[in-house]
A and B are shown apart, each in its own frame.
Chain A
Amino acid sequence: MGSTSEKYAAFKEKVRRTVYFDNLSPQVTESVLRTALEQFAIVKTVKFIPNYIGPSNLPQCALVELDSVKKAEEVILMIRQYPFMMSGMPRPVRARHAEEEMFDDRPIDPDRKIQCTWLDPSDPDFEVAMELKRLACKHAAEISFMHRLQLLEEEKLAQQQTETLKVHYKKFKMIEDITMDGTARRLAREYDMRITDE
């Protein structure tokens, strides 16, 4: 018993040292995460959370265990303050504190007792139970719809940003071109303006 509760306590401590990352590109690998975070803290373990039943194009999520609770908090605070890019831009990653339920291999809470019962159709509460079951089913459908919606929104923003970027690019290209081919200098002379930076 002693060892189980010790193990549980050790696990709780580990959870506090762990940072949960989401909105990760599928290109992000363990080594990318390690190099990205090792500028700030010592990375102990990296674990990607497998996506077994969500939509296949959801961004990746990962749990990164750092060497101390303090470092974990610092990393989270920093990523909240400054948009942090990993394996691409401009969509930043997001970091938050890990929770116990985010670990599939977490140990059993030694103090917990579980009880369950089967409700037969004759039970007075059976109907309500069925209703709750249907509700759970409906909620799951709502959530998966929400996922789709969210992915659409993200797609939309990405599309919009691509456009903006193209316009910016065109603008910069034009400026570059006229500086290169002497048009800018000619025009400056025409209007008697100084364009040299020095």
Chain B
Amino acid sequence: MSQLLGTNGGDVKQFKWGIKKGVGMNDKNLQFYESFVYNGVEYFLYDCVYFFHTDHVETSVGKIVKIYERPNHEKVVKVVWFFRPCEIRNFLGDYEPNWNELLLASGLGTGVSNVNFLASIVGKCNVVCTSKDKRNPEPSKTELNMADFFFNHTFDVRRHVIDDKFPNEIDGIKVERFFNRKEDKKTTSPPHVGTNLRQKIVIKCRTDPCHTLQCQVEDKAEVRTSENVLPNSSLPPCPPRKRKMIEENSTINQSSKSPEEEEFYDNAQKLNPDRRIKTCREIIEVTERPDSPWDERLRNAQDSGTLVLLSNLDPSYTSFEVEDLLWHALKEKVEARIIERSPTFNTDYGRALVIFKTKDAAESALYEWNKRSLVLGEMRVVYAEKGTITVPEKQTKFSGHLVLDRFQKQQRDMRNAVSTSHCSQTNTIEYSMAIEWLQLYKKSDACWNALYQRQMEEIQTTKSKLKMTTIVL
């Protein structure tokens, strides 16, 4: 049972199939497996893993529920996803997740699971279920300490509801598979199998090559269990949520990107073979703590070239709507923040800062915007440019606030009186000067208004040249 098969995939260097499970019930061409060795790590069914995708800063976490090879030797895994709280933040409502909390996808609909190429697995991830559900074996203290993430709620992808009750099945997989593994199961399984504790992975890295070499045994027994059954369609429709990943794998990863990716792994291994997984973990902590301050992310985005400023949006859009808009228009998952309306800016122009996941994504988006035009309702043509943020200046002086020598010389209580906020008395010099300022404010307002009016007229004149009056509603 513990023996590994030496069936070598051929094209990927550090890859070995493990225990065979059988062929598909409906499609005899699909060969199912229970485990495989990839990059020196042995993965089993129902292990939690990190997925890497080049245009996303974050990795995704999912549970492997099926492992199989297609007739064309494509090695794929079916994964049920865990959501990071930030991915569903629009639906969190009053729910306040922990920074290392995940939510298990559930319900019917797209986004629960999908099929991914095996090569996009980064490493194992230790996810512990802390649900009080009777079916869930309670995790031990050590298990909790070892865990990278925990979960005790599900997120229904159709109803957009967070629930602490677990259904009996998720995407056709018994819910027990998502809970913690039972104690007895752990003991019966061979020593190097089953547990996904951190140390064991490291040890496995060292021992695996020997194992795989020793085991050149052909397993002829084809076990077929109900779990082998896979829907006939080999690639389920891509759910919107993880769609990027699939697209990328099917196009880029297969051809151009794949050497690069392998190189990345090679280098990582060369540098520090035993700590490869740990390195991944560090990256995750740094880049995507959900509470990392926005200003910091903004600066990082500017430095890494992933920041884009959009203008001429509808000023009533919210940050979420801008994110949705970019998803629908560019199929990019971005982070957006609208710039607040200011009386000293044309209030008809809505603006937003957008952080793309990668520099490439940001640049291809800018290219797209230059080549074509994204038009919103009322014929708003979105204008995009590389975002540069103002460096906050530490100002000590504020023009218009005068400092008098007289007050500096006088007693402290007098100075204190000056710095308190107050309404001006009419019989002071201060008052008459304040009136001068109010006049200036009025004058500025008038100038701004005149500017807006002219700008709006210009926009109207240009719009009147349109041939089709209703492009969008």
Contact = CB atoms under 8 A, between A and B. Distances in A.
Does chain A bind chain B? yes
Interface of A: 3, 22-23, 25-27, 32, 35-36, 49-59, 61, 78, 82-92, 94, 96, 99-109, 112, 114-121, 124-126, 128-133, 135-137, 139-140, 142-143, 146-147, 149-151, 153-155, 157-158, 161-162, 164-165, 168-169, 172
Contacts of B147: none
B375 A27 contact: no
Given A25-B401, A169-B405, A52 B298 contact: yes
A6 B73 CA distance: 53
Interface in B423-448: 423-424, 429-431, 433-438, 440-441, 443-444, 447-448
Nearest to B379: A132
A135 B462 contact: yes
A84 B424 CA distance: 6
Contacts of B377: 114-116
A142 B377 CA distance: 24
A118 B381 contact: no
B375 A117 contact: yes
Interface string B338-353: 1111111111011101
B148 interface: no
A165 B472 contact: no
Contacts of B451: 142-143, 146
Contact of B473 (A92, A102, A115, A120): A115
B424 A82 contact: yes
B402 A89 contact: yes
A194 B399 CA distance: 43
B325 A124 contact: no
B228 to A, nearest CB: 41
Given A104-B337, A158-B399, A117 B318 contact: no
Contacts of B298: 52
A139 B435 CA distance: 31
B391 interface: yes
Contacts of B455: 139, 142
B437 A157 contact: yes
Nearest to B368: A118
Contacts of A56: 390-393
Contact of B319 (A53, A89, A105, A169): A105
A129 B401 contact: no
A133 B373 contact: yes
B215 interface: no
A85 B467 contact: no
Contact of A116 (B434, B444, B472): B472
Interface residues of B, number: 96
Q: Main SS of chain A's interface residues?
A: mixed
Contact of B390 (A52, A83, A120): A52
Interface in B117-158: none
Nearest to B403: A88
B73 to A, nearest CB: 38
A118 B462 contact: no
Nearest to B388: A53
Contacts of B444: 150, 153
Contacts, number: 262
B346 A106 contact: no
Nearest to A129: B373
Given A84-B421, A107-B318, A157-B437, A99 B398 contact: no
Nearest to A7: B93
B28 interface: no
A99 B341 contact: yes
22 contacts: A26-B398, A35-B420, A52-B298, A83-B423, A88-B401, A88-B419, A90-B401, A90-B402, A90-B429, A90-B434, A94-B441, A104-B338, A108-B320, A115-B473, A116-B328, A118-B372, A133-B312, A135-B462, A136-B311, A140-B349, A161-B433, A162-B402
Contacts of B373: 118-119, 126, 129-130, 133
A124 B465 contact: no
Given A132-B312, A165-B404, 6 more contacts: A114-B325, A118-B329, A129-B375, A129-B379, A130-B381, A136-B311
A120 B472 CA distance: 14
A59 B392 CA distance: 12
Contacts of B379: 129, 132
Nearest to A172: B406
Nearest to B326: A116
B221 to A, nearest CB: 54
Contact of A54 (B338, B375, B381, B390): B390
A129 B381 contact: yes
A125 B466 contact: yes
A94 B451 CA distance: 21
B374 A85 contact: no
B321 A136 contact: no
Contacts of B344: 58, 143, 146-147, 150
Contacts of B342: 22, 49, 54, 61, 102
B317 to A, nearest CB: 7
A117 B471 contact: yes
Contacts of B405: 169
A55 B272 CA distance: 47
A139 B459 CA distance: 10
B351 to A, nearest CB: 8
A136 B383 contact: yes
B210 interface: no
B376 interface: yes
A86 B320 CA distance: 35
Contacts of B472: 115-117
